[in-house]
Structures are given as C-alpha cells and as structure tokens.
Amino acid sequence: MDIQAFADRRARLLRSMGRGIAVIPTAPERVRNRDSHYPYRHDSYFYYLTGFPEPEAALVLIAGDSPQALLFCREKDPDKEVWDGFRHGPEAARATFGFDAALPIASLDDKLFELLAGQPVLHYSMGHDANWDDCLVKALNRVRADVRNGVHAPAEIRDVRVELDEMRLVKDTREIADMRRAADISAAAHRRAMRATAPGRFEYEIEAELAHEFRRCGAQAPAYSPIVAGGANACILHYVGNSQPLRDGELLLIDAGCEVDSYAADITRTFPVSGKFSPAQRDVYELVLAAQRAAIAQIAPGQPWDAPHEAAVRVLAQGMLDLKLLTGSLDGVIESGAYRRFYMHRTGHWLGLDVHDAGEYKVGGQWRPLVPGMTLTVEPGCYIRAAEDVPRGLWDIGIRIEDNALVTADGCEILTEAAPKSIVEIEALMREPGGA
Ligand code: GLY
Ligand code: MN
Ligand code: MN
C-alpha cells in the first residue's frame, strides 16, 4: 500500500485546520437481520485519510507546531480472529499505515477527554452518526465540566468535511489509477453483459454476468445496486428489481459499475435484446448519443459545471421536437422545462470514493469551474413512457448512455471508452458468441 499518499492528505488537512483537533470516525457495521451483517464498507472520508479498512476505528488529528495523527482501532483478539479474521491491532496498524501513534478504540472516551482539553477548535462533522455525535458531545461536556481546574473546552466546532470535500474533488495520481481500474473492469462487465443478452433470458441472469466479471477481475463489490432494466423498466430511473424476462424487440438498459480499492465506476449502456436496433430505437439512441457527445465537448478546465448539462439539454430538446414528442420552439421547451417529461435528471455528478461523490457544485452562487483532476459522469438519457399523446412507435423506449470523464489540462479523457456505445460497435459485439 502506498501509505505516503494517505500521509500527504493528512498533512494537507492538518495545515488547513491551522489549529485544533479533528475527529474522523469510520462507518459502523450494520446488521442485516438477527446476527448477519451487511458486507462492511468503511467511511469514505476516513478511508481517504488512512487507507485503514477495519470497522470500529477513528482518526484523530492534532494541528499545531508538531502535528500528530493518531489512530484508534480494535485490539488484537486471537479468539475473535478465529471467527472473523485478521485485525491489525494498534501496533501493527501504526507501523503499516504510518500514524504517529495508535491506541485501542476502547480507550477513546478517556483519551478524547484529555485531547480536547485546551484545544480551541473541534473539527468534526455532526449529524451523520448519532452514536459518534453522542460520543463527541459527552467528551466535550466532560471537558466543560472541568473548567474549575483551569481547563478550556473547544469554543468552536467546525465541519471537517467542508475542507475534505474540496480535497476529494480533485483526484491525485493514485486515485486516478484506482478509478481507471474500476472503469476498465466495469467496461469489461458491460461487454460481457452485451454478449450474454438474448430474448428469453432474465434481467437477473444478466446482472449475474456483471457480478461475475466484477469479482473475477478483483473488484471488491458493485459500486451501487446494478440496474438491469428491459423494455419499459428502463423508464423507471432507479429500477433495481432485475426480475423480468427480456423480450425480442425491446431494449435493455444496464447501469452498473464496480468498486475497486474503494473507488467507483458508473457506466450505463442501452442496447437491443435481439442485438439489432429497430428504426425507432435507432432514432432515440442516436439522439441520446449526440447529446452525450455535445456534453463531453463541454468538459474542459474553466468550463462551468453546468455546461455539459446545458449542451445535452439543447440537443435532447431539439430531438424531442423532431420526434414529435414535444411541440413549440427549442427555446420555449427549454424555458418551460417541458423537456423534463422525457429527461428528468441532470447530466452528471462527481465520481470517486462514492458514486455520487463529495464536493459542492456551486461556489458563491455560481456553477463551479472544472479543473484538471476532477472526475464526473456524463449521462444524458431519454425516457418515453407509453401515453396517448406520444407517437406509438416510441412507447416504452428508455435510453441512457453514461461514461466517466477525467478533466485533463486541455479537455477530458473518457475513462470508460472500452464499453461500446456506437450502434455499429454494439451490434458487432452482440453478433459474437454469447456468454451463456
Ligand atoms: N448509477 C447511479 C447514477 O447513475 O447516478
Ligand atoms: Mn449510473
Ligand atoms: Mn451516474
């Protein structure tokens, strides 16, 4: 593990804190039912600063002339390790991950009382976990109760995530390498899914192909619940039931990406179940693809966050008029928002440790300008539900095309190119022997 990258991030946060103490806990384990847990996923902020994957841990940073990074974690426990596997314990965690010191998590309450005393500022993000909030409030109140002994409690609490959100927005070399691997594996999974698709197969069978490729290639998990939506299901934006049969003549929309070493990919492809687009499907597909191309052309340093969305909306709205889904003028349907009947989401979001990653989209009331190292999705779509006022040939066509972009010095790089998206490429791939 490249522990230097994590140490550099801690040093940067310590510098920006100026003074005070920061507490950044990891996520709790969650019970699924009775004594079974959901697969554990650490907190992204905690991981960003530590690389430490175990539950029941917290990072404490103390800013000042001699800044310190302390890890609190579980102690070694040979009996529990027989059942649940390896735990570093404080000493190995300190040595392996490069902290100034590491201490048992059981000592945190008493230690926090000592460490908070005399600090002017507590950097902590309230409101995300009631147990941690309670722990911090109790520690603060213990220090406040000690005031007659000349102890000062922090007078200020600042949200440590504000600075971390800014840091997470621009990815470093190590993060980009992880995102490339997530993108490559996810693209391979989409290719596998396309090859495996045929009339009569079920959405869940295709979901299984995605999962197979993710794990076969070493991804730890899907980055979010995969959407495998045949026919009209594609018009349900968060369809995750994945239970229905795939029918000849319908499209299949797949929104799926994996997580590799904690970094996400987020790809959507839409293709015909039969391997061949119908003329109506082709029209809508080419429209969404043109909208995506227009959006991608807007991604460059200095461009406002919203520029790709505006470009996509313009192309999509014109296409909706051409397809007789809407009537009126281009400016009119954009102004009134009439296009939202068929395109109701935005064209992208930040991507990174979280699929909808950290970071503000506006600064000082303005859309934030893109800078090199930012990573975002570009995902226009068009969702046409059956309705009397809609041309019959377009009923139940739902299409989204989603790629992951890295802002570069002079434009952007699409990290997910390896997932085919032109009609020619898709139809060629689907003629290849299937994965079934
Ligand atoms: N897969 C979630 C999204 O596209 O935003
Ligand atoms: Mn997606
Ligand atoms: Mn997305």
Decide if 356 is catalytic. yes
Residue 177, pLDDT > 70, answer: yes
- Mean pLDDT rounded to a whole number for the chain: 97
Check 47, 263, 343, 383 and give the catalytic one: 383
Establish whether residue 224 lines the binding site of ligand 1, counting it when its CB lies within 6 angstroms of any ligand atom: yes
CA dist 320 to 171, 228, 309, Å? 37, 25, 16
Decide if 42 is catalytic. no
- 35: CA distance to ligand 1 center in Å? 31
DSSP string, 151-201: ----SEEE-HHHHHHHHHHB--HHHHHHHHHHHHHHHHHHHHHHHH--TT-
Decide if 349 is catalytic. yes
Establish whether residue 205 lines the binding site of ligand 1, counting it when its CB lies within 6 angstroms of any ligand atom: no
Would you give the distance in Å from CA 61 to the centre of its chain? 26
pLDDT value at position 433? 74
| pLDDT per position as a tens digit, 102-141 | 999 999 999 999 999 999 999 999 999 999 999 999 999 9
| pLDDT per position as a tens digit, 388-426 | 999 999 999 999 999 999 999 999 999 999 999 999 999
Q: Taking residues 59-81, what's their average pLDDT?
A: 97
Quote helix, strand, coil % in the chain, to nearest 5: 40, 20, 40
pLDDT value at position 1? 73
Establish whether residue 355 lines the binding site of ligand 1, counting it when its CB lies within 6 angstroms of any ligand atom: yes
Q: Which domains does the chain have, with CATH numbers?
A: 3-167 (3.40.350.10), 170-431 (3.90.230.10)
Residue 197, pLDDT > 70, answer: yes
Ligand 1 pocket: which of 224, 238, 344, 361 to mutate (most atoms within 8 A of CB):
224
What does pTM read for this prediction?
0.97
Establish whether residue 379 lines the binding site of ligand 1, counting it when its CB lies within 6 angstroms of any ligand atom: yes
Establish whether residue 175 lines the binding site of ligand 1, counting it when its CB lies within 6 angstroms of any ligand atom: no
The number of the ligand nearest the C-alpha atom of 377 reads: 3
Decide if 385 is catalytic. no
Reading the block at residue 384, the tokens are: 């046409």
Is there a contact between 316 and 287 (Cβ–Cβ < 8 Å)? yes
Query: Residues of the chain with pLDDT > 90: what percent?
Result: 98
Confidence band, pLDDT 50/70/90 cuts, at residue 434: low
Establish whether residue 266 lines the binding site of ligand 1, counting it when its CB lies within 6 angstroms of any ligand atom: yes
Q: Taking residues 66-71, what's their average pLDDT?
A: 97
The atom number, within ligand 1, closest to the CA of 266 reads 1
Decide if 47 is catalytic. no
pLDDT value at position 110? 96
Decide if 2 is catalytic. no
> Kind and range of the H or E element at 387?
none
Check 205, 209, 266, 403 and give the catalytic one: 266
- 331: CA distance to ligand 3 center in Å? 27
Residue 74, pLDDT > 90, answer: yes
The atom number, within ligand 1, closest to the CA of 256 reads 1
Residue 54 CB coordination number (10 Å): 19
pLDDT value at position 398? 98
pLDDT value at position 436? 47
Decide if 35 is catalytic. yes
| pLDDT per position as a tens digit, 285-327 | 999 999 999 999 999 999 999 999 999 999 999 999 999 999 9
pLDDT value at position 119? 97
